[in-house]
Amino acid sequence: MLKLFSKKEITWDPDRLPKHIAIVMDGNGRWATRRALPRTAGHAVGAETFRRVATYCKDIGIEYLTVYAFSTENWSRPPDEIETIMELLDKYLREALLKMERDRVKMKFLGDTTVLSQGLQDLIAETEELSKKFEGVQVNICVNYGSRAEILRATELYVKEAYCSKGSQSETMLTEENFSKYLYTAGIPDPDLIIRPSGELRISNFLLWQSAYSEYYFTKTLWPDFNERELDKAIIEYQKRERRYGDIKGKGDIKGKGGAVK
């Protein structure tokens, strides 16, 4: 067992780590408000938390990390707050490009990025192109992402391709596997563990299709206060659970198998 933090022993099994962790980075505004700071200050601290958590995930061997950075609904926020978030994304990408050769972290963006500024679109394209050279941890950043919009988009893409396809019926038949190819997450395994900081008990239009059999972990810790120790707690809780994917105890893990437990 791997031991961390001498002040209080926290252990998790390195052989049973989740392959894919997804996080709703929530609580930046409330963190700032409680300190009589502008909400934008919370986003700046939250960005640093993301860097630290992403580095820790890489160091302990997590293969995929997906973070909810900006949703399709977030455009309704105050203009100065939106501007700050986009500036932080720009700053992060420029710094990431300088360090990618050293850190060898792959990055992918999930969501409709066509509405972003041309400068951000160019940085995203450059980051994803450079990422193709690397093997190892992959960080997925959800920007202008909403799961309902993703599912509608995937449906439209499927219908267009199936209508125009000259393939066999089996190739154009709508199945879970075929449908998943049209999602932003195509080729990425579904998240094993989804973490929601800030005390909110909802999923906020995040990875609705992909989270069908994910384990959820909720904590009252606001995202700017989230750290390596908080991630350890989530992993420990995850390792205590039995993942059955709709099957009964002792039948084994069969991913994607549905139905109620009887």
Question: Distance between CA 81 and CA 199 in Å, rounded?
Answer: 22
List pLDDT tens digits, range 176-229. Answer: 999 999 999 999 999 999 999 999 999 999 999 999 999 999 999 999 999 999
Query: Could you report the per-residue pLDDT of 34-62, keeping only the tens digit for each?
Result: 999 999 999 999 999 999 999 999 999 99
Q: Is 74 a catalytic residue?
A: yes
Q: Are 96 and 58 in contact (CB under 8 A)?
A: no
Instruction: Give the gyration radius of the chain's Cα atoms.
Output: 19
Marked catalytic residue, from 15, 28, 59, 74: 74
What are phi and psi for residue 209, nearest 5 degrees? -70, -45
pLDDT band at 253 (very low <50, low <70, confident <90, very high): very low
Task: State how far the alpha carbon of 260 is from the alpha carbons of 98, 164, 216, 252, in Å.
Answer: 49, 37, 18, 15
Banded model confidence at residue 100, pLDDT cuts 50, 70, 90 = confident
| Catalytic residue of the set 13, 26, 178, 227 | 26
Q: In terms of DSSP H, where are the helices of the chain?
A: 28-33, 39-60, 79-103, 118-131, 147-164, 169-172, 176-180, 228-240
- The architecture of the domain spanning 14-147+189-240 is 3-Layer(aba) Sandwich (3.40)
> What are the extents of the domains in the chain?
14-147+189-240
